[in-house]
Amino acid sequence: MDPNPKNFPILSYVMEKLPTIKRTFSNAAAAADIDVENPPEAAPKPQEPHFELTERMPHLKNPKLISAMRAAVTEVAQTRSTLQALGIRPDHEAVDAARFSLSEISAQSSMDSEEVKEDCKAFKAVIALDEMHEAYERMLSEAERRLEKIYEAAVAGDEVIEDEMENGKKDLEQEEVDEEVVKVLKEVELGKEIDRVDLSGRKLRIFPEAFGRMKSMVVLNLSSNQLEAIPDSVAGLENLEELNLSANLLESLPDSIGLLFKLKILDVSGNKLAALPDSISHCRLLVELDASFNKLTYLPTNIGFELVNLKRLSIHLNKIRSLPTSIGDMKSLRLLDLHFNELHGLPHSIGRLTNLESLNLSSNFSDLNELPETMTDLTSLKELDLSNNQIHQLPYSFGRLVNLTKLNVDQNPLAVPPKEVVAEGVEAVKAYMTKRWEEILMEEERKNNHEMQEQAQAGLLTRSASWLKSYVSNVSGYLGGSGKSDADSYLNQQL
């Protein structure tokens, strides 16, 4: 939310005084170490900063506006400090795993053992910590929005305070329904079956509940409006195959969207979504899903297990740090676009996407520095974009990508293959990596042969030493014994 200093000098000055919070994730084990009921002692609160609002903005005369801005700044600072005190947030898969394990334990008849109780306590700690992060991050987002509105009012010289702005928002929500919407609803009332509705770019703020009764609708386009929520009644569109909600103001999708069992194309790009509902996995006929240009930090854990018919998945321009392992079960996937995220790596299951033809991993910058060896199992891959990352070397078996025709590795500190090979094109890169892979295999084979020879020689020496020891023992027994015929016979046989 921190503004560009050139565009918002005063707000930039204010925000620089505040402690920053960076959202981070960890695994369940790390989160379980935190005792939510008995948190560690908080560090002493820093002295509240003094903001010279009247000096920096001398045109401010409204005491209510000044008071509102100070209160908003304090709220943002306190919420950020609380998030810092909570520590690292567990990742989505760890939270899902904790919930699943807890439900399994609850289903068991006996929970008396101390070990089970300790496990329950750890799982509950993970879930509680995630919920606290979720609540405080929502509070922070709302506090920052309030501060932005108050600042805009102050810059414009308006004598508007927060209560008046809220009233104005309510007035806007009471605008008359769009004429085209009225026309569509009247046609439905007259019994006319409508299979396509296009209400894009009409500045709609509300999704009409009556749309949920349009059973015959197949295509619905509500893109480029000002929708902030989609009602549960959307589940009534039981024959809907294509839904376009792009370029709106949506912060979440209803769980009922999972009841659109015939949905094949879903576009929710260009919104403010922080997550996709888990129920989206129930739309098993989905062929295209575009959730790009949002605020996603993860994908539903089981999304790959259910969306086995998905061919195009576009989730670029988000804040995704990792992909669920179930991604490897999207066996029909042809295109996967992940550019401009915060990926730290790819799951090994990525290699199971044997029908994937286009993969864009560009512009994950310093977060992405290596690729899994299983990525070379993508034998159908034709286009691969790895530009603007921190990748030092390609997988040794990269030459297995026999169908690859387009490769972009610009702006990477690539050492293997060298730059001069990259400059010659994708075929030169594949040939170089194939040769290098063969050399590595030959070297490993030589090492294995050498080790086997050493082991064979060691075994021969061991057997010889054992035989010699047995021979000496028998000779010693003969010389030290009474010279019985059986000892003589054994010695003769050995000689």
Q: Between β-strands 219-221 and 196-198, what pairing exists: parallel, antiparallel or unpaired?
A: parallel
Number of alpha carbons in the 13 Å side-chain half-sphere of residue 368: 32
Q: Is residue 124 over pLDDT 90?
A: no
Q: Is residue 211 over pLDDT 60?
A: yes
Query: Are the C-beta atoms of 335 and 314 separated by less than 8 Å?
Result: yes
Task: Name the residue among 136, 97, 162 with its Cα closest to residue 324.
Answer: 97
Q: What percent of the chain has pLDDT over 70?
A: 71
- 489 pLDDT band, cuts 50/70/90, is low
State pLDDT tens for residues 173-194: 434 456 777 777 777 667 678 8
Q: Is residue 355 over pLDDT 80?
A: yes
Tokens 């003769």: give the residue. Answer: 492
Q: Is residue 479 over pLDDT 60?
A: no
Cross-strand pairs, 242? 219, 265
State both tokens at 360.
Answer: 């864009």
Q: What is the pLDDT of residue 30?
A: 47
Q: What is the pLDDT of residue 367?
A: 80
Q: Is residue 495 over pLDDT 60?
A: no
Q: Is residue 266 over pLDDT 90?
A: yes
Question: Which strands form 265-267's sheet, in the order they lie side by side?
Answer: 196-198, 219-221, 242-244, 265-267, 288-290, 312-314, 335-337, 358-360, 383-385, 406-408
Number of alpha carbons in the 13 Å side-chain half-sphere of residue 43: 8
Query: 128-152 burial by CB neighbour count: b if 16+ within 10 A, else e?
Result: ebbeebeebbebbbebbebbebbbe
Q: What is the pLDDT of residue 34?
A: 53
Q: What is the pLDDT of residue 146?
A: 74
Q: What is the pLDDT of residue 164?
A: 45
